[in-house]
Amino acid sequence: MDSPSCRHVAVFGSTGSIGRNALEVIRGTGGRFAVAALSAHANLELLARQALEFRPRWIVATDAEAGRAFPWPAELRDRVRFGPDGLDRTAAEAEIDIVVAAIVGSAGLSSTLAAIDAGKRIALANKETLVVAGGLAIERARASGAEIVPVDSEHSAVFQAIRAGRPSEVARVLLTASGGPFRDWPSERIARATPAEALAHPNWSMGRKITVDSATMMNKALEVIEARWLFDLPAERLEVVVHRQSIVHSMVEFVDGSVVAQLGPPDMRLPILYALAFPERLAGPTLRLDITKPFTLDFEPPDPERFPALALGAEVARRGGTTGAVLNAANEVAVERFLEGSLPFGRIAAGCRAVLDRHDYESDPSLETLLRLDRWARKEMQQWNRS
Ligand code: NAD
Ligand code: MG
């Protein structure tokens, strides 16, 4: 039997980098959390292994065709659900307290919204939900009582630091960025970067999409948009600062000039643990800062010329409406095209800019409009700059 303090967790995207880290946190916190549901799209072998270990009540194979063809072990077979609908249904199950939203891209939107509507705690890694539909997601969370606690390390830092003052006392949020693998490269070299070069992140080991986003700094652009919605701050109060060590995870400056920062080693298990346990803090399997050896913390302004994606983030944070859905979809396809070799690295931001400029802007779109524009922007980006 679970103890009364045990909370039931669904991990959506459990085979990914965040998903696997979330399972390590659950394994390493001595029965405080139990896995109620797991989901994955590909790598069903790993999903089945995870399910045999954690024995969740529900297992969701979001790629229904692959899921139906997969030889599930007999003891798991009656727990498996298929397709995005199976995931949305699972998000709303009464037994689930916390949903770790760790699917990559706008594929994570529907199940995150389902969990929000069901009033769950959302441990939110899927920043794309807020980029695409931040206004709607926050409004729906307010209506249902869902609690969104960020897993993104920068937003977890802000979430913690911002509690040092009142919302009206916040002057600025400073989001730190490692700068990615090309932070010291000249533009000409960045323009021709290969997938292998873009996938070699200096500080963090993550999924492929976010690793490429870190190299273009589109990840930071998406994070500015994410912060705009999470903390209800206007774009003018959100700044990016390059901090190559990834130890200061972000900072909040208050009206009196005081800056409050959160520090920790670059270990995603820490913000995951925080998002699961909040408002408590638990001991868990996280790395510690080693302050017995000298270490340095550097900060420098980002270079908007070498990293044009940053301007897109500021613009979308300012304009809101349909811009986030369009930028996100264009970027997802641009990253895929870069990885498959049909778009040079140096054209990713330019392609996103072109698609963004071409779309029919609406300031207060419905979910249907956002989904339609997501499909539209994908098609546009597929065609863009093909010879
Ligand atoms: P990943 O590629 O390692 O894992 C993605 C997971 O989503 C996998 O389980 C995969 O099966 C599932 N998935 C993929 N396509 C899907 C689809 N169409 N439908 C349903 N499920 C699908 O990604 P990741 O690095 O773990 O990132 C996950 C999310 O967390 C992203 O939104 C990312 O921006 C965010 N995030 C990641 C990190 C990190 O350290 N990896 C840090 C901060 C934020
Ligand atoms: Mg981040």
pLDDT per position as a tens digit, 103-158: 999 999 999 999 999 999 999 999 999 999 999 999 999 999 999 999 999 999 99
Task: Domain 7-150: give its CATH superfamily.
Answer: NAD(P)-binding Rossmann-like Domain (3.40.50.720)
Please say if the pLDDT value at position 262 is more than 60. Answer: yes
DSSP secondary-structure letter at 380? H
Q: Which ligand is nearest to the CA of 157?
A: 2
Contact 174, 239 (CB under 8 A): yes
- DSSP letter at 386? -
The residues, ordered by sequence, that sit 6+ positions from 64 with a Cβ below 8 Å of its Cβ are 82, 83, 86
**Above 90 in pLDDT, residue 56?**
yes
Give the CA dihedral 353, 355, 358, 361, nearest 10 degrees.
-90
Lowest mean per-residue pLDDT among 17-21, 175-179, 204-208: 204-208
Query: Which pair of structure tokens corresponds to residue 318?
Result: 């300012």
Q: Sheet harboring 121-124: ordered strands across?
A: 80-82, 58-61, 33-40, 7-12, 98-101, 121-124, 147-150
Mean pLDDT confidence for 7-13: 98
Asked whether the predicted pLDDT for residue 1 surpasses 90, the reply is: no
pLDDT score recorded for residue 204: 86
Mean pLDDT on 44-65: 98
Question: Which residues make up the environment of ion ligand 2, defined by Cβ < 5 Å?
Answer: 152, 154
Question: What is the domain partition of the chain in residue ranges?
Answer: 7-150, 155-266+289-319
> What value does the mean pLDDT take over residues 270-282?
98
The mean pLDDT value of the chain amounts to 97
Per the structure block, which two tokens stand in for 286? 């996280």
DSSP state of 300: B
Higher pLDDT, 336 or 203: 336
Confidence check: pLDDT of 177 > 70: yes
Q: How far is the CA of 6 from the centre of ligand 1 (A)?
A: 26
Q: Tell me the average pLDDT across 86-113.
A: 98
Tokens of 8: 């039931």
Q: What is the pLDDT of residue 202?
A: 87
CA atoms of 356 and 352, how far apart (whole Å): 6
pTM recorded for the entire structure: 0.98
Residue nearest to atom 41 of ligand 1 (CA): 206
Angle at 161 between CA 177 and CA 18, to 5 degrees: 55
* Residue minimizing CA distance to atom 2 of ligand 1: 207
Ligand 1 atom at minimum distance from 15 CA? 9
What is the C-alpha to C-alpha distance for residues 120 and 102, in angstroms, rounded to an integer? 15
Task: Report residue 180 as tokens.
Answer: 């990615």
Q: What share of the chain is helix, strand, coil (3-state, %, to 5)?
A: 50, 15, 35
Q: How far apart are the CA of 81 and the centre of ligand 1, in A?
A: 20
Instruction: Return the percentage of the chain with pLDDT > 70, whole number.
Output: 99
Arithmetic mean of pLDDT, 227-249? 98
Question: Which residues have C-beta atoms less than 6 Å from ligand 1?
Answer: 13-19, 40-42, 62, 102-104, 107, 125-128, 152, 204, 206-207, 210, 268
Q: How does strand 238-242 pair with strand 170-177? A: parallel
Q: What pLDDT does 2 receive?
A: 66
- Structure tokens belonging to residue 94: 């009464």
Q: Please tell me what DSSP assigns to residue 164.
A: G
CA pair distance 361, 324, nearest whole angstrom: 11
Average pLDDT estimate for 264-271: 97
Residue 60 parent element (H or E)? strand 58-61
- 3-class DSSP state of 362: coil
DSSP state of 312: H
